[in-house]
Amino acid sequence: MKNSILILVFCLFIACKTDKKNDSPLQSAPPTKIEINHAKGFSIETTNNGLTIIEVSSAWPGATTSFKYALAPKNKMASITLNKEEYDAIVATPIERLIVTSTTHIPSLDALGVTNKLVGFPKTSLISSENTRKLIDAGHIKELGNNETLNTEIAISLRPEVLVGFGINNQNKAYETIIRSNIPVVYNGDWTEESPLGKAEWVKFFAPFFGLETKADSIFKSIEKSYEQTKAIVKDVTKKPTVLTGGLYKDVWHVAGGKSWMAQFLQDAKTDYLWKETQETGGISQSLETVLATAQHADFWLNPSILTSYAEVEESNEHYTQFDAYKNKTIFSNTIAKGATGGLLYYELGPMRPDLVLKDLIHIFHPELLPDHQLFFFKPLE
Amino acid sequence: MQDPKTYRYSFIFLLAALVVALSVNICLGSVSIPFTETLRSIFGETLENTAWEYIIWNYRIPKAFTAVLVGAGLSLSGLLMQTLFRNPLAGPFVLGISSGASLGAAFLIMGSATLTSLFGFSFITDVSLAIVSSIGSFLVLLAVITVASKVKDTMALLIIGLMFGSISAAIVSVLSYFSNAEKLQQFVYWSFGSVGNLSWHQLGLLFIIVFLGILLSIFSIKSLNAFLLGENYAKSLGVNLIRSRYQIIIATGLLAGAITAFAGPIAFVGLAVPHLTRQIFNTTEHRILVPAVLIYGAILMLICDTITQLPNSAEVFPINAITSILGAPVVIWLLVRKRKMVF
């Protein structure tokens, strides 16, 4: 009965592996809140015994649970007692090795000057940052497959001190294995943030892991100042051009919702976005008929799916040629500017540099106000 | 009736192959761990490289055992279905069990917004996914059993199972159509199947359910042999037809439902392995076939999983692609050589 021997051995394996837990009582201290002015998805508090508590309330859209992470300085680890049950992860700082999972995390690491601490990333080809690409090419940053089916073996073997994850829910089996291997996983919800400056403020989320809070604060302040100054350029504009966004996929046209990130940029750039009245924060599915009726005469058209030239526009759907923006050659797209390996610059760096996005848009819609600006994210179709 | 002893050497060979496949599966992976280190760790020595030790004990070994359970369980449920319906093309998912599980998973992943607004909280966890897809399987199974009590003909039951499957698949399509890209992606990845990343705890649960399914099958061996001779003949042998049929369907439901819940819908194994086994064991005796498909299925799944892991590379193939690439030619070959089949 070799079968039963196998089963017996298997049961022994189960019996041998038990989780270790070491709980200790919590030492309380009155916390100080770090200033977060625009981002709604996270908060940071510091206690007088050197502990930093990050709370992520919007890990994914419609999240109903908050995640609480405790960051304790390595040199004080011995003196700080924490109740493990109270936190979703405990991280010893400053960290020397980390894994991040979204290209939106890369600009924060670049800005803080800690890209060399990154040891692994799923789908490295999506990264466009030149600085990070050098490290990938040098083999310093390892490939981890893709985020939905993260290569657990490689992730664990890299021995990161933290994995910054993202997901549409907490359904990532690989993350669970990584947590069981005592590598803390923290969720970053930067992509759920709706306002341009809110997204950029997530640089402050990364700072405490490296003890760079002051640096992050000054980085964000300069972006905030630049954004406000750019916004002020168009404050007296009265003639707002009308704008259409998105394109067809099969027979559904996805336009940006009236409360989306894109729509807020369009509002700050003083345009009349034709779907500004809608309440959606993501995309809205529309039929071709509706879009044609609403936006045939729009002055500008942004991001027609992944099309890069007027020839492609005509080829992909003959109805596209009915739009004034096609006839007047006023179509611009954020999917043309790509990194060395084909990653889209806009989706990587755009969230961190809303000031640059806004400058691009003002240059497109009101060229007389920013005549010398070189388009960075948005390019005209060929 | 043949004597199992006739096949002693075939069984010894199969068991040896199982041990080899298991060892190879545990030794190979994306991270290159020296063979000697792997062996040292398995025999209880502590490795200096704690990450390796963790990978071996908490990722590779559970993954290998998951593959064993998945392969064995699905192959057995395939054998049960083929015998029950006396149809060489029946498989565990013919009754719509897999579609039911997919429907449950689809509702949870892609309909979770609706669920959240209805109940005020989101349900998605590993456990809830397993529970919901099991419920999906069992609801379809329940519907089939209800119909089975009305329909005496096994062939009609087969068609009804397929119809339930189609209905479930259609609802999944509708949910997919109205779902956003991220949710769709998550569902698609679930449907690719995966035997990795189960905790020891989840593995224990899966083991218990699969073990129950195997026990039920062992108790049904006599009636399985009788079923092959036709329902009337089985009746004359004193087999309680209705009870046996339910017992076999429930065993299949347990096996396929639990496996689909934990590992996603794994294709083809259930259909192909019983035929591959009959090629070696030229018999219709279930006392031989039941243990043989269990071992054969486990070996095949271990081999498939080893291939998906592509040693020393970050990319992991979806296991369903590999099982189908191996399984599809078998099915084609079956259809072509149908007259020469051992059945």
DSSP per-residue codes, B35-101 = HHHHHHHHTTPPPS-HHHHHHIIIIIHHHHHHHHHHHHHHHHHHHHHHHHHT-TT--TTTTSHHHHH
Spell out the alpha helix ranges (H) of B111-199: 112-119, 126-150, 154-177, 181-192
Note whether B125 contacts A: Cβ–Cβ < 8 A.
Answer: yes
Model confidence at B104, in pLDDT bands (50, 70, 90)?
confident
Q: Which of A168-177, A241-250, A333-342, B121-130 has the lowest mean pLDDT?
A: B121-130
By CA distance, what is B202's nearest residue in A? A14
A16-32 mean pLDDT: 48
Q: Report the b/e string of B108-124 with b at 16+ CB within 10 A.
A: bbbbbeebbeeeeebbb
Average pLDDT across chain A, whole number: 88
Contact A39, A196 (CB under 8 A): no
Helices of type H across A284-353: 288-295, 310-316, 324-327, 345-349
Q: Averaged over B309-326, what is the pLDDT?
A: 80
The answer to whether B210 and A7 are in contact (CB under 8 A) is no
The string of pLDDT tens digits covering residues A185-195 is 999 999 999 89
Interface test with A, best of B69, B200, B203 (most A CBs within 10 A): B200
What is the model's pLDDT at position A117? 97
pLDDT at B287 over 60: yes
Tokens of B78: 């395939």
Count Cβ atoms below 10 Å from residue A280 Cβ, excluding itself: 15
pLDDT given for residue B43 in this prediction: 86
Q: Which domains does chain A have, with CATH numbers?
A: 27-227 (3.40.50.1980), 233-380 (3.40.50.1980)
What pairing do the DSSP bridges indicate for beta strands A98-100 and A272-273? unpaired
Higher pLDDT, B63 or B104: B63
Strands A331-333 and A379-380: antiparallel
Query: pLDDT (tens digit, 9 = 90+) per residue, B32-62?
Result: 888 888 888 888 888 888 888 888 888 899 9
- For chain B positions 37-66, those within 8 Å of chain A (CB to CB) are 51-52, 54-55, 57-61, 65
Residue of A nearest to B195 (CA): A173
Q: Give the β-pairing of A242-245 and A272-273.
A: parallel
User: A153–B113: do the CB atoms touch at under 8 Å?
Assistant: no
The predicted pLDDT at position A28 comes to 53
Domains in chain B with CATH codes: 4-338 (1.10.3470.10)
Chain segment A260-270, per-residue pLDDT in tens: 999 999 999 99
Q: What is the CA radius of gyration of chain B?
A: 21
Q: Is the pLDDT of residue B314 over 80?
A: no
Q: How confident is the model at residue A3 (pLDDT cuts 50, 70, 90)?
A: very low
**Residue A363 CB contacts under 8 Å (≥ 6 apart), including other chains:** A370, A371, A373, A375
Chain A residue numbers with beta carbons less than 8 Å from the beta carbon of B52 are 157
HSE of A1, CA atoms in CB hemisphere, 13 A: 5
The helix-helix angle for B61-85 and B221-228 (nearest 10°) equals 40
Q: For residue A150, what are the β-bridge partners?
A: A145
Q: Chain A interface, mutation test: which of B11, B46, B57, B59, most A Cβ atoms within 10 Å? A: B59
Least confident span in A113-122, B88-97, B316-325: B88-97
Nearest chain B residue to A159 by CA distance is B51
For residue B168, report the phi and psi dihedrals to the nearest 5 degrees.
-60, -45
- In this prediction, residue B331 carries a pLDDT of 67
Q: What is the pTM of this model?
A: 0.81
